[in-house]
Structure 1
Amino acid sequence: MEAALDDVFVDDITFPATDGYSLAGTLFLPRGAKGHAVLINSATAVPRKIYRGFASYLAHRGCAVLTYDYRGIGGSRLPTMVGYNQPKSLVGFNASMSDWAALDVTAAVRWMRERYTTLPFAYIGHSFGGQALGLIENNSEVSRALFVASQAATWRLMAPPEKYSVFAFMNFVGVPLAHMLGYAPGWVGIGEDLPKGVFLQWAEWVSSPRYLFDSKLPALENFAKFKGELRALCFSDDPWATRPAVELLAAGFTATRPEVLTVKPSDVGAKSIGHFGFFRPEHRDALWRGAAEWIQGE
């Protein structure tokens, strides 16, 4: 364990998914007393390092925070046996988005809950990370959930012209390429490389009118198990997580009353926020502070 900035301890760890697969995570701990436990759940094809600044900020405020990578992503991608520190090919790697939820997110929630039994437990979901909360069987362990640009990501609810670009890319570029190569390469603009099964399920959901709600996943019944507080943030310049898309996802949580807030960049003195901007450090004194205060019930 090494000391980091702002009196926050940072520790890279591994923990087992529900099927035993080893997941890479980073634990951020305050030097003083811990008042809350927080799990940050990543967007699709996004490595956990993107959330490092926000996680450190929360730890500085007294939270024990875990970030982690889903299987096949970042530190949770197996290394090759040949060469130095090179990731193993994802060809033949078996994983789907529903696997990410059932095997990886479920395990991360369990790991944090078992480790910090007495602390209030908050869940932060960025994009897919928010969607996953509705799919996991142990979401009742979470007392507060903050969604950041998390939506039912059907192309139909995205802003034009982006919606047409996404539909065309997914179906006419991404899907054929995933079948041809055996995985979805990050160089096409999706972020990190994705396992074939993850990308194909994602593309299927994006093409469906109600996104994952049109699937026949048995795990959809878990949406009704979440009874905690839910706040969903959407940003007016985000072409993917538009307010209708965020509202559609939030409406799936029928056992609580989600609060959906739209933030304009001008509200926080910014030129842009978009789908990823919330996690930029320049929003420390505005977006981060407001989010932290809500997570900590202040």
Structure 2
Amino acid sequence: MAEPRLDDVFGDDITVPARDGYPLAATLFLPRGAKRHAVLVNSATAVPRKLYRGFASYLARRGCAVLTYDYRGTGDSTPQALTGHSQPKSLVGFKASMSDWAAQDVTAAVAWMRERYKALPFAYVGHSFGGQALGLLPNNSEISRALLIAAQAGYWKLMTAPERYRVYALLNFVGAPLTRVLGYMPGKAGLGMDLPKDAFLQWVSWVMSPRYLFDDARLDAVQNFPKYKGALRALCMSDDPWATPPAVELLCSGFTSIEPEIITVTPAETGVSKIGHMGFFRPEHRDTLWRGAAEWIRAGE
């Protein structure tokens, strides 16, 4: 993906402390003109924040203060080695689960943005896991609008074939054994990014459960789903093998205090041949999907 131009947007790499003080690498995008909205962009599993750079700068050009960040143990929030220049430390022994990402990292990012831009309408953008995390946050009532992009309850049987069988094999026959032996999930085994052991194994347990994270008896944070009472729009891409309509609907069913709006988008509608699970954030959607997202966010004025 080509790097977007930032000559009309301020982009500043910063550090945001998680609830327990862990430093999260982040980038704050600011418009050169007046700020009218605050937007937090929350990443998918094993996806670095740089994927969202183009979309974040697009929103900033339209008057939004936008924060992107990496969860602990991923991207630039990986612990650094004591020797060498900016060399990441091994994730062996690094403690971080997906529920930690929600409770410690996402919760803190929401609080940071709400405190910094308390006078502005606050929108939450969640891609895949980033959308799932919304329901787990103790402070999700601070958010007025949430746009979920390819966010789903990711039970493997709700994926399309043959992708569901590839995922089942990758997680159970490759990922889980490797993770238990090595002490972390190596990205080169199929995910593209190294993941902490606990995060990956928790994800595997959710993917293997018919109701995904709702089946996790140890995940008390699911009680926070009904606390969200803002506007919610969930975008479902018709050619996404992961976030299929039933999977998106299952996730949205957890938000019992509201009536989520689920919209299915086809590639033909946007003039492209495919979108899939990751394609929303490609610059080719600047005048279609991105514009629609920005208009929906700004409707909260």
What corresponds to 2:74 in structure 1?
73
Aligned residue for 2:12, secondary structure, equals strand
List per-residue Cα deviations over 1:267-295 (Å, max 9, x = no partner): 00001100000000010000000011001
Work out whether 1:94 is the aligned partner of 2:110: no
What corresponds to 2:245 in structure 1?
243
**Cα separation, 2, equivalents of 1:179 and 1:238:** 30
Correspondent of 2:234 among 232, 235, 242 = 232
What corresponds to 1:273 in structure 2?
275
What corresponds to 1:14 in structure 2?
15
Alignment of 1:64-143 (within 5 A): 64-143=65-144
**Cα separation, 1, equivalents of 2:69 and 2:83:** 25
**Cα separation, 2, equivalents of 1:189 and 1:58:** 31
**Cα separation, 2, equivalents of 1:214 and 1:240:** 19
List per-residue Cα deviations over 1:60-116 (Å, max 9, x = no partner): 000000000000011111111122221100000000000000000000000000000
TM-score of the aligned structures, taking structure 2 as reference length: 0.97
Correspondent of 1:223 among 213, 220, 225 = 225
Query: Structure 2 stretches of 5 or more lacking a match?
Result: none
AA at the equivalent of 1:46: V
What corresponds to 2:58 in structure 1?
57
What corresponds to 1:146 in structure 2?
147
Q: State the superposition RMSD in angstroms.
A: 0.9
**Cα separation, 1, equivalents of 2:19 and 2:272:** 41
List per-residue Cα deviations over 1:167-224 (Å, max 9, x = no partner): 1211111100000100000001212100000000000000000100000111010000
AA at the equivalent of 2:222: L
**Cα separation, 1, equivalents of 2:77 and 2:24:** 5
Moved over 6 A (4+): none
Alignment of 1:117-196 (within 5 A): 117-196=118-197
Aligned residue for 1:131, secondary structure, equals helix
**Cα separation, 2, equivalents of 1:42 and 1:289:** 20
How far is the alpha carbon of 1:6 from its aligned partner?
A: 4.8
TM-score of the aligned structures, taking structure 1 as reference length: 0.98
**Cα separation, 2, equivalents of 1:178 and 1:269:** 41
**Cα separation, 2, equivalents of 1:125 and 1:94:** 23
The 8 Å contact of residues 81 and 89 in structure 2, kept in 1 or not, is answered as: yes
Aligned residue for 1:113, secondary structure, equals helix
**Cα separation, 2, equivalents of 1:84 and 1:11:** 21
**Cα separation, 2, equivalents of 1:171 and 1:131:** 22
**Cα separation, 2, equivalents of 1:179 and 1:189:** 16
The 8 Å contact of residues 71 and 77 in structure 1, kept in 2 or not, is answered as: yes
Work out whether 1:295 is the aligned partner of 2:300: no
How far is the alpha carbon of 1:164 from its aligned partner?
A: 1.2
The 8 Å contact of residues 170 and 190 in structure 2, kept in 1 or not, is answered as: no
The 8 Å contact of residues 142 and 228 in structure 1, kept in 2 or not, is answered as: yes
**Cα separation, 2, equivalents of 1:297 and 1:275:** 25
How far is the alpha carbon of 1:5 from its aligned partner?
A: 2.4
AA at the equivalent of 1:65: V
Aligned residue for 1:294, secondary structure, equals helix
How far is the alpha carbon of 1:237 from its aligned partner?
A: 0.8
